[in-house]
Structures are given as structure tokens and as C-alpha cells.
Structure 1
Amino acid sequence: MYDLVDYAVVDISKAEQDYKEVKQLLSRSDLDLDSQVTVFMVAKINEQIIACAGIDRNIIKCVAIDPNYRGNQLNLTLMDHAIKYANENGYFHLFLYTKPENIDFFKGCGFYPIVEITDLVVLMENNPVGIRQYCKQLSTQQKEGSKIGSIVMNANPFTKGHQYLIQYAASQCDWLHVFVVNENASLFSFDTRLKLVKDGTKQIKNVTVHASSPYIISRATFPTYFLKDKTKIDQAYMGIDLLIFRNYIAPALNINYRFVGTEPYDEVTKAYNEAMSYWLEDKAVSNHSAITFVEVQRITEGDTIVSASLVRKLLASGQYEEVKKLVPSTTWDYLSANLDKFKI
């Protein structure tokens, strides 16, 4: 039977019939269609899609197989084709998120669990030692001290608020590690954000600014297609991101503090901050050392709380003098020279 299967790459945004068939197949597997993926490796018999695997850069998503055709040969061949396609497009280190009940299936396809949130989600990668290799590399940047702090930020763009948070945290620690989230779903590219953070903190001597890795998860790219209960999305995202940090990244650098600014505007970020003390400090969720969570009050400019979202709004409306008040001179130098890039 499997000799009759044809494998092909389809872009469902350009093929209405393929879109319908993939969506129906996913629905039968109790999965939603992820809005961030349009390219699928599909298996067809008599022009009918019987299996699919979505490829979104380095993440395999939306894997589904018609119950009438499930079997090791089809499973493995589908995943082999999907992985080969990703490799051909320059992505060799691959990840996937799935339900914990599917761990054994994906283990058989060459993926290995990194961290699991019970009954919700597991993150897997196609390298048995991937995260350990990353942590080994990180450990070369360990610094001496009993109080090693950390901050994870998007810095979209880098503001006086970010600068103050780093200055304050550095003043409280022997050393501070700052991770800039590595994704390009923001207005400012990752390379730009990383440069702005480095330029805005170079006067602080006990700080290392890291280009973060795929192991620091971006909320913007966290897939949710496998979670039918949408109220669990943020719990799943927060758990994955914070447990990876607690179980792997923090031990590699001897981090025992994590600093964050208060969040007066964005409800998702506010909820994330509130969840930090649980995932980072509670002994019940991890057997790794607890990380002390420190929330720092945001600074204001006059009566205005400094935030990157406000800076973006002011840029969009052309209020450049107001922007200048909210960002360090290094950020303003970049903005004033590149306003046309952001279609402001």
C-alpha cells in the first residue's frame, strides 16, 4: 500500500484544495491549522492527502496522519521528507512542540524531549545533546560571584526603561547576563535590537549581553495549534520558556536571580511576570535550584511610564521629540538615521 504513496511539498496559501484537505486532516487529529505555517510536506494516495507535516523554518508543526494509514513506515517516511526539506532550506537543528502523549512517536522519528509541561506540551529537538552542547558553550562565559543576575528582553526598541533595569540589576549583582530574544517577529530586527542593547550598556562593566538562542522561547513564535483549550496557551508557553531557563540556562552560568520590569500595559506580559515566581522559585515544578525573581518598578518620563510599545506608537505618529525623551542617545542616534526603514 505504501508503494502507492506520493510525497510532495505544497503551499496551502496558493492551493485551495490542499488547504481544505490539510485543515480537515488536522481537524480529525484534534489539531488546529497554525497560522504561521503554509508550507507542508504531504503524503497522497490517488491525489488525496493522507498525511501532512508543516515546516515553519526550523520548527516542524501540524503533523497529522489519517487513522486509516497510520503505521511506522508512513510515519517515518513523512518525517524523513519533512526533515530533508528543512535541511535543503538551511535548517538543520529542528524543533517541534507536541502533546506529551506523542513523545514516543516523535522519538521514533529522531527527536528528543527537552522539557515537558504535564498534560499540556513537550518541546523536542532532533539532536540528543543539542541543549547540553549549548549550555556547555554558555558555561565558558561564567563569572565569579555569589549573586549572578539575569534579564531576558526583547528591546523593541531599547529604551531608557531597559537601560535603567540593566543598570539597577547590575548594581545588585556581582555579574549580570542579559539575553536578547532572537526572533524577527518584532518591528526592529534581532541584529538591530542586539546592537542597541550592547551600545546602550557598554558603560556598565559587569554585564554580558548574549544573543539568545532557540532555547529562549519567543511568545510571538510559540505554536498553539495543538492546544484546544486556548486558556492553557499562556501556561504552556510560560512553563516551557521558564523551565528551560531554570533547568538548563541558569545552571550553565550559575544564575540565581532574574530581574524584570513591572508591566502596566500588556496583560500577557503582566501574566508572564506573575508566573515567574512559580516556575522559577517553586520546588514542586523542578528539582533544579530556585532562581530568585525580582520585579523592578518601571521608570517614568514626567508622568509617562517608559515602554517600548509607547516608543513604537510615537514613532508611528511622527512624534520624534517625544521619542527622543524615552530612549538613550545610542538608540536615538540609530532611529534618527533610519526612520525611513520603519515606514514611519
Structure 2
Amino acid sequence: MDDDLDIICVDPGEDPAAMERIRALLASQDLEIDSGVEEFVTFQHYGRVLACAGLEGQVVKCVAVDPSLQGREVLLPLMTEMTYVALDRGVTHLFIYTKPAYRPHFEACGFHHLATVPGVVTLLENTPRGLPAYCEQLAHLRRYRDKVGAVVLNANPFTLGHRHLLSQVVADCEVLHVFVVAERSSAFTFDERYRLVVAGVEEMPERDRIMVHRGSAYLVSRATFPSYFLKDSGVVDRAGTGLDLLIFRQHVAPALGITDRYVGTEPFCPVTRAYNADMHRWLETEPLDAAPVRVHEIPRVERDGVAISASEVRRRLANKDLVALAGLVPAPTLALLTTKVQADRPRAELVPAAVG
């Protein structure tokens, strides 16, 4: 990089003037600022932003280079500086979105291709062993059967609705793989959610045919499916669903021999409902070099005419309504919810009233 460009890191919450200049550069490239970006790396010339890249968690986004720098080696030093910023945050594994036409430029910076929605978006990571190593770990757990199912759960928290879904699925296949979404963006921590799924499965008579897996960055994560974690904004990114489902069909499913994927019907969340619909395209009908995965939608179980949902459980938890919660969740989940309610109550509420 030439010496006349200054490397300046920008905190979106602390430098509104710099953010306006970043916004202008992105707009010139038909891009918008992503509200999740935690820090920008910029190359500036006397205050003018000529190149930028943003970081959210382990995802690099909002990358743009001013046309005036065309022909100059800018992208590699920009990505190198971003790597240093990520390392300062304790992040070594990076993903990046870009337009398919720019894929060769990022591969020249050391990134490796994961999936592409043709004409829309490409996802890459900064290691050649990330996804292959993950699939090799899964392959050790493969059980060779004719019909092998998969379910991906957020389980925030695990409910009787989730258990009903798993019981319906395991009745339809010989082996069931359950993946628990690993992102830390839920009301319950990943460890809590994972433990509740494991405990819920242990109560099922079919438990010997069900394998529960910890999720990864390659399955419903901010890297593969960012719009899932932007539900409140109403954004439904169909490109994001494509990336996530392409990785599942081309890599995860072959590693475990998965033939069928199951989802519960979605009456509430438009993002999840769109994701369910997109499964039929990307897993079943899109012509790819990977075998199709059959998709099944299982009707949700209802209580008092309303589908049991984790969002309803969270609402009743907020109201500390343990009596109502008992009809929506299995015993291990109820035990955790009871502990949370008791921990939130003022001490005076927990002391029995004096007799006499």
C-alpha cells in the first residue's frame, strides 16, 4: 500500500463524521452500512475514506474500494489490517461475503470458497481446512442407514413442541441427527439450550436413534444465514438462506449420509417461514453436484388451539407464570425456568410468612 494512505480504525458508535464518509463510499458501490458492524478498518487520504471493511463477530462485511484506487494493491493490505483487528478481538476464523465477480480477488487474499448463490453472493473463509475439518469430524459419527434425518433447532428454550417434532421425525427415519444452533444471540445461552435438548432427548424412548450435535459456524449462523439473527428488522435475506442450505446439502449432509431434513411449520416468524420455503428449492430441486435432500414440514403441536412455541414460553417466563409454563415444556426445561424465576424474585418473596 502506498504511504499516502492512512490506516484508521473507526468505531461506529463514536465517530459519526467518519461513518458518514464510510456510508458515502459504500453507497458509491451500491452497498449499505450493516448495523451489526462493530469496527471498521479504513484507508483514508486527508480525511477522505477511499477503502473500508467492517467486522461483526467473525464476519467481514461492507468492503468497498474507491475507483480512484483501481490498479493499486489495496485489497490485500486492507484484509491484512482487518486480520490484525480481528486478532485483537480474539478472532482468528473469519468469513467474508462478496459478489461472485469479486471472488478471485478475495481468494488472492487467502480466503477460500464455501458457497455461492449464482449472480448474488459468495461466502468465503480464511482457512482451507475449516469446512473440510468440520465435515471430517461429522463423518466419524455417521451411521449407515437408508433413511437418515436431520433437524436444526435453536431451542430457545426446548419445549414440548420441539419434543413432539423430534418424536414425529424419528418415527419416520432410522437415525436422526439434531443440530443445536450455536450462536450466542438467544435469551438462553448455548450451553443451556444444548443441555436442555440433550436432557429432553434422554427422556424419549427413541433416544438411542437420536444424536445431538453442537452447532457450528457452518449451520444457521451469522456467517451462513445473517438475516435469521435480524428478525426484529423484518429483513428476509433469500441469498442468506441459499448459502446456508447449499453448505448443508453439499457438505454436511454427505458427511453424515443425511437423506431427509425436517422442520416444524412456522405460524409466527416470517424469517423462519421463508427459510422453510427455501429449503425445497436449495435442498430438493436446485441442480447441483450433490444428492438432493428431501424436505418434510411437520405440523406443530398445539395447546388450547395455539401452537406451542419458544417465544410463548419466553413470554410466560417474563411474567413468571410457572403454572402455565408447566404445560409447555418438559421437566428438565421447567426445572431451569423455575430456577431463573426464583433467582429473579426479591428475597422477601422467597421467605415464608410468619405463622401466628
TM-score (norm 2): 0.89
Report % sequence identity. Answer: 39
Q: Which residue of structure 1 aligns with residue 349 of structure 2?
A: none
| 2:316 maps to 1:314 | yes
Contact 1:155 1:180 (8 Å CA) reproduced: yes
| 2:200 maps to 1:197 | no
CA drift of 1:184 comes to 1.4
Q: Counterparts of 1:250 and 1:305 in 2: how far apart (Å)?
A: 29
Distance of aligned partners of 1:124 and 1:340 in 2 relative to their CA distance in 1, 3 Å threshold: farther
Q: Which residue of structure 2 aligns with residue 227 of structure 1?
A: none
Q: Which structure is larger by alpha-carbon Rg, 1 or 2?
A: 2
**Matching of residues 71-150 of structure 1 within 5 Å:** 71-150=71-150
How many residues align? The count is: 338
Q: Counterparts of 2:247 and 2:215 in 1: how far apart (Å)?
A: 13
Letter in 2 for 1:151: V
Q: Which residue of structure 2 aligns with residue 334 of structure 1?
A: 336
Contact 1:144 1:174 (8 Å CA) reproduced: no
Secondary structure of the 1:172 match is: coil
Secondary structure of the 1:242 match is: helix
Q: Which residue of structure 2 aligns with residue 248 of structure 1?
A: 251
Q: Counterparts of 1:61 and 1:72 in 2: how far apart (Å)?
A: 21
CA drift of 1:273 comes to 1.4
Contact 2:149 2:260 (8 Å CA) reproduced: yes
Secondary structure of the 2:300 match is: coil
TM-score (norm 1): 0.92
Q: Counterparts of 1:232 and 1:12 in 2: how far apart (Å)?
A: 21
CA drift of 1:13 comes to 0.9
Letter in 1 for 2:282: W
Q: Which residue of structure 1 aligns with residue 47 of structure 2?
A: 47
Distance of aligned partners of 1:143 and 1:72 in 2 relative to their CA distance in 1, 3 Å threshold: farther
Q: Counterparts of 2:288 and 2:40 in 1: how far apart (Å)?
A: 36
CA drift of 1:252 comes to 0.1
CA drift of 1:217 comes to 2.5
Q: Which moved more, 1:63-72 or 1:304-313?
A: 63-72
Output one character per residue of 1:276-309: Cα deviation in whole Å (capped at 9) or x when no partner: 1221111x43221111111111111232211111
Secondary structure of the 2:14 match is: coil
Work out which of the residue numbers 272, 284, 288 in structure 2 matches 1:269.
272
Letter in 1 for 2:338: S
Distance of aligned partners of 1:154 and 1:232 in 2 relative to their CA distance in 1, 3 Å threshold: closer
Contact 2:114 2:123 (8 Å CA) reproduced: yes
CA drift of 1:169 comes to 1.4
Q: Counterparts of 1:266 and 1:232 in 2: how far apart (Å)?
A: 11
Letter in 2 for 1:289: A
Gaps of 5+ in 1: 225-229
Distance of aligned partners of 1:110 and 1:340 in 2 relative to their CA distance in 1, 3 Å threshold: farther
Letter in 2 for 1:210: H
Q: Counterparts of 2:101 and 2:321 in 1: how far apart (Å)?
A: 52
Q: Which residue of structure 2 aligns with residue 281 of structure 1?
A: 284
Q: Which residue of structure 1 aligns with residue 238 of structure 2?
A: 235
Q: Which has the higher contact order (CA 8 A, sep 6+)?
A: 1
